[in-house]
A = this chain, B = another copy of it.
Amino acid sequence: MRQQDPVSKLVFELSKLPGIGEKTATRLAYFILKQDTSYAQSLSESVLNAKTKIALCSNCQTFTDTDPCRICSDHTRVPALICVVEKPSDVFSIEQSSRFPGLYHVLHGTLSPLDGIGPEDLKITELLKRLETMPASSEVLLALNPSVEGEATTLYLTKLLKMLPGIKITRLAYGIPMGGRLEFTDKQTINKAIENRMEIKSQ
């Protein structure tokens, strides 16, 4: 079939998505064709809405359709606790746990000298500016991924933030994932889990 017909065009567009090959794209396209028109309409609208209505929050730099974003303008949240993450989807991941009471700051990347990404390419200036107006005894939780770049960024930010008085710097705990099994856990994680072992307190 030529690329001009609507089905092939849809397969072509879908196969640009990450992890979606031509076979999966074909399956998805035919699934969309089999559904009611209402599904195609709402999918189509939500793709366009998400892209056109979304900008960066001027405060925390995450993707948002309102400025400041819903999280930054939520007055039930703790303003003295900022969780620094790599990308907007990390905000989404942490929000799903419903356990984090504070605000976020999205760096939009990690330091990576090999890729030519330095501190000036990340939203670090914006973070420092926010910290200037923070209440006393604030906490910054560095929640970057435990990759080489994530670790380097954590180290860089720790050094930078230590120069600001009265700010507590924390990081996520490392250990065996919940539901994980020792036999399937890599050495480094086991090492970290032993290193950070916790006392069982009698209740």
Residue in contact with A7 in the complex, picked from B26, B41, B92, CB distance below 8 Å: B92
Residue from the list B30, B41, B70 in contact with A87, Cβ < 8 A: B30
Contact: A92 with B26, CB < 8 Å? yes
List the number of copies, as a whole number: 2
- Among B5, B10, B64, point to the contact of A47 (Cβ < 8 A): B10
> Which positions 12-49 of chain A face chain B at CB distance < 8 Å?
12-14, 16-20, 24, 26-33, 35, 37, 39-49
> Is A126's beta carbon under 8 Å from chain B?
no
Asked whether B52 lies within 8 Å of A48 as measured between CB atoms, the reply is no
**B28 & A51 in contact (Cβ 8 Å cutoff):** no
Query: A37 — nearest CB in chain B belongs to which residue?
Result: B51
B37 in contact with A6 (CB, 8 Å): no
Tell me, in angstroms, the Cα distance from A4 to B54 when the chains sit together.
Answer: 13
Q: Mark A120-136, 1 if CB is under 8 A from B, else 0.
A: 00000000000000000
Given contacts A17-B28, A19-B24, A33-B63, contact A48 B54 (CB under 8 A): no
Contact A5 B65 (CB under 8 A): yes
Task: Using CB atoms and an 8 Å cutoff, list the residues of chain A in contact with chain B.
Answer: 1-2, 5-7, 9-14, 16-20, 24, 26-33, 35, 37, 39-54, 63-65, 70-71, 87-89, 92-93, 95
Can you report 23 residue pairs joining A to B where beta carbons are below 8 Å apart? A1-B95, A5-B64, A5-B70, A6-B46, A6-B49, A6-B50, A7-B50, A7-B54, A7-B92, A13-B46, A13-B47, A14-B43, A16-B43, A17-B28, A27-B89, A30-B63, A30-B89, A33-B50, A33-B51, A37-B51, A40-B50, A40-B52, A44-B48
